[in-house]
Amino acid sequence: MIVEVENLEKHYGSFHALRGVTLKLEGGRIGLLGPNGAGKTTLIKTLLGLLPHTSGVCRVLDTDIAEDPLSVRRYIGYMPEHDAVMQDLTALDFVTFAAQLCGLPAAEARGRAHAVLEHCGLGEVRYRRVASYSTGMRQRVKLAQALVGDPKLLLLDEPTSGLDPQGREEMLSLIRQIPERSNAHLILSTHILPDVERTCDQVVVLNEGRVLYNGGLEALVQKEQDCFEMRIKGDLDRFCKALSAEGFTVSLDGTKVIARIGAGQDPDADQQARLDDATRSLLRTAMKTGVQVRHLQPLKATLEQAFLDTIGHAEAS
C-alpha cells in the first residue's frame, strides 16, 4: 500500500482544505485530478510530510507521516511544477547532489546521476550550467533529480508544462517507462487530461477537499452505447440529411458527425449485430451521397467529459 489516508482533515483557520479524505492506493500509475483549489496541492504537501495535518491518519510507503516525515522523503521523488534548480550548478553536479541527499554515497551518486541523466535525454549538456538551459532541458533535469534516488513513489506536478509537442511526447514516454522498469509508483497531478489518459491507469478526482472518485481510468470513462462518431470529406449537409432519413439521430460537434442509432432498429438483435448493421448503413449512406468516410468509430468518451460529469454530479447533490 503506497498511500493510506484515513479521514484526513486539514484546516487553515476556518477554511477546510481537506475534508475527511480517505484514500487507499495500492500503486500503479495514478492521475490526480481536480479543479483549482480542490486540495490537490495540500494533499501532495501532506504526503511529502511538509504540512502537519489537523486530524486523521496519513501513511505513505507504510510509514506514518506524523511520526517520521523525514525518512519517507528518501523514497519519494518529487518533480515540482516550477523551476527548482540552482542556476550556477551544472546538471551533473545538481543531480549528484540530489542523489547524495537521498543517501547515496559520493561515488555511487555520481555514477547514478550519469545514468539517470542519460535516460532523461541529457547528453553533453549535462556539463553546462543550468542557467543556459531551455525549458525542455530544465524539465528533464527536474525529472532526473526526482528519479536519481530510485524513488518508490514518484510525484509529478504538471510535468509537461511549457513543453512543445515533441517535448511533451518525449516526457510522457519517459514517465511511462519508469513504473515498467522499476517498482516505482506514479502519482501525476495535472490539468492536461490527455496526459493522464496516456500515462495512467487509475484516477483520483478531488473537489473542494473531498475525494469524488478513486478507481480505474477505464471504469470512469464510460462508453456511449449505440452511438458513432464520424468525420467525412464531402457535402456534410447532404450526408446528415441522408442519415436522418435512414433513422439515425444526427448531431454535429464542429465538423464531427455524431450519429445515434434510432429507436426504429430491432432491439432484440445481438449487440454486435446491431452495431454491424448500423455501420453498414452508415457506410452505404456515405457511398450513396458521394462522401468519403475518413473516420468512423463508436463514440469515444473522453476523460474530460467524465471528469466534468463527476464534478457536475457532486455539485448538483
Partner 1 sequence: MSETAAIELRKFSKWYGRIIAVNDVSVGIDRGVTGLLGPNGAGKTSLLRCMSGQMRPSLGAVRILGQDPWRNPALARDIGLCTDQGWLMDELTPAELIGFDLRLRGVEEGKTRDRAIEALEQFDLGHAVDRRINTLSRGTRQRVKLAQAFAYDPEVLLLDEPLTGIDPVARATTVKRIKERGAAGRCVLVSSHVLHEVESMTEQVLLLHKGRLVAHGNAMEIRDLLDQHPHRIAVECDRPRDLARAMVDLPSVQGFSFPSESVVELHTKQPDECYAAVPARALEANIKIRRLTSPDATLEMLFRYLVGEGS
Partner 2 sequence: MPISDRGYQPYEGPRLPSRRNNWVITSLELRRIWASLLVKIVLIIAGIWAILRVAWVAGVGYFNVTLTERASQDAAAVEQLRQRLAQALSSDLVLAGIDGQLVFVILLTLAWGSGAIATDVRDRALQFYFAKPVTERTYLLGKITPLAVYCFFICVVPGTLIALVEGSLLQGQGLAASRSALVLPAILYSLVLSVLLSVGSVGISSLSRNRLLTLAYWAGILFVPLAVAGIVDLATQGEFVWLYLASPLTMARLLGRAIFRLSAEGPLQWYHSLLTLAAVCGGSIWLAWQRLSKTEVVG
Binding site for partner 2 (CB under 8 A): 41, 44-45, 48, 50, 70-71, 73-74, 76, 78, 80-89, 93, 97-98, 100-105, 108, 112, 115-116, 118-119, 145, 147, 149-150, 157, 177-178, 181-184
Which partner, partner 2, partner 1, none, binds residue 104 by CB below 5 to 8 Å per kind? partner 2
What SS3 string covers the chain? CCEEEEEEEEEECCEEEEEEEEEEECCCEEEEECCCCCCHHHHHHHHCCCCCCCEEEEEECCEECCCCHHHHHHHEEEECCCCCCCCCCEHHHHHHHHHHHCCCCHHHHHHHHHHHHHHCCCCHHHHCEHHHCCHHHHHHHHHHHHHCCCCCEEEEECCCCCCCHHHHHHHHHHHHHHHHHCCCEEEEECCCHHHHHHHCCEEEEEECCEEEEEEEHHHHCCCCCCEEEEEEECCHHHHHHHHHHCCCEEEEECCEEEEECCCCCCCCCCHHHHHHHHHHHHHHHHHHCCCEEEEEEECCCCHHHHHHHHHHHHHHC
CB–CB of 153/185 below 8 Å?
Answer: yes
Which partner, partner 2, partner 1, none, binds residue 41 by CB below 5 to 8 Å per kind? partner 2
Interaction with partner 1 in 201-230: which residues (CB under 8 A)?
none
Q: Does 231 bind partner 1 (CB under 8 A)?
A: yes
Whose Cβ is closer to partner 1: residue 106's or residue 273's?
273
Member of 54, 135, 222, 225 binding partner 1 (CB under 8 A) = 135
Q: Does 313 bind partner 1 (CB under 8 A)?
A: no
Which partner, partner 2, partner 1, none, binds residue 149 by CB below 5 to 8 Å per kind? partner 2
Which residue stretch of 93-101, 108-116, 212-220, 306-314 sits at the interface with partner 1 (rule: CB under 8 A)?
A: 306-314
Whose Cβ is closer to partner 1: residue 87's or residue 255's?
255
Member of 22, 161, 214, 244 binding partner 1 (CB under 8 A) = 161
Q: Does 292 bind partner 1 (CB under 8 A)?
A: yes
Q: Residue 273 corresponds to which cell in the numbers above? A: 449485430
Which partner, partner 2, partner 1, none, binds residue 91 by CB below 5 to 8 Å per kind? none
Member of 26, 177, 297, 313 binding partner 1 (CB under 8 A) = 297
Which residue stretch of 31-39, 47-55, 61-69, 180-188 sits at the interface with partner 1 (rule: CB under 8 A)?
A: 31-39
CB–CB of 210/19 below 8 Å?
Answer: yes
Which residue stretch of 68-76, 122-130, 164-172, 176-184 sits at the interface with partner 1 (rule: CB under 8 A)?
A: 164-172
Q: Does 13 bind partner 1 (CB under 8 A)?
A: no
Nearest to 249 by CA among 277, 228, 219: 228
Report residue 54: phi and psi, to 5°: -70, -45
Binding site for partner 1 (CB under 8 A): 33-37, 134-136, 161-169, 191-194, 231, 233, 254-255, 275-276, 279-280, 283-284, 286-287, 292-298, 304, 307-308, 311
